[in-house]
Amino acid sequence: MPARTGYLTRCKTEGINMANPVQFISQVRAEVGKISWPTRREVITTTVMVFVMATLASIFFFLVDLAIKSGLSGILHLVG
């Protein structure tokens, strides 16, 4: 597909069409306008959920670590 002069240039290394910088910026702005940004409530809710899940995971791994430590200490106490 031939490119129009001054509008698109052929990228010699990758074989793709590249727009000029002004057109690229305008395309980026158009794409940013299509983004569905989360509401403040959605951001707060997901942030709280991340903290809750991180807390639950840390408690779980603490308990698993404690159980393994206790089990190994018991075994080593019996053997040694």
Q: pLDDT digit string (tens) for 1-36?
A: 555 555 555 555 555 666 688 888 998 999 999 999
Phi, psi of 20 (to 5 degrees): -70, 160
Backbone angles phi, psi at 10, to 5 degrees: -85, 130
CA distance 9 to 18: 6
Task: Give pLDDT, residue 80.
Answer: 77
Q: What is the pLDDT of residues 21-80, one digit of tens each?
A: 888 899 899 999 999 999 999 999 999 999 999 999 999 999 999 999 999 999 999 997
Helices (H), 10-39: 21-33
Question: What residues pair up with 17 in beta bridges, in sequence order?
Answer: 10
